Chain A
């Protein structure tokens, strides 16, 4: 349900970047999500298709990179992949782990077109 508001927030940030760099067209937006981001990929895509025509160039591509849920065990320091949301790291007595990726909605990069100005401005 909240994919719409997250994508709105994403596009606001993309727009700011496009403006800062004087983009005439935003070609591609690349994002990262994971199992604990709390969003559905298809709904993110749909929200993007609905909202992205407001971006410069109006034909922007969304690339979604899906990463696994990764964590570090605070006891042994080992990096692990959390499967099926089972957060107990059985190799250590302590079940204390810190999530390192797969729980965020990250804007990775934005590909834009810019018009090189030659010092001559059109009327």
Chain B
């Protein structure tokens, strides 16, 4: 048996965009979509839910407990539960990952709103803001840094978790791992790992950039 090199560049070249569903570029695209949809859905659900938890304090503990239980379940278990409902589709991966994102994002929204200093909230009331406007113009904007920090965690973990979906054939770049293991062929595995890491770093970098643009006022402020 000849020594198998760690990376066969010709394999990458042949499989980057061969037009089929297993092309690396197609898997990459799949991966991006399946990683970002849960974060997007998570944010859309976490915002009102987080607001509700702030408005009705008693909601917060049960909600967080429920989300943490979900979070503690191995993703594989969740996948198999949803497999029986949604079958071998993307939803079977996206729905559990949405729950994972929620487990991070709901506390982030709640903590974000709690991070609004009391004098700021009170002076908004005293200036004559009505509740909705106060939320939209003062409280949510001031909560942005904390929410974005949660969003970074949710995004990166979502990018890495998508690969587990490979077990049901919906794992984006994770499919490369299965392919590699089955054939004792390292190149797809290396390609998968590298692309996932690059994707995670890139997404995180974009969010940091977004934070800089959105909240120029928060730099060096936290210690004050």
A and B physically associate: no
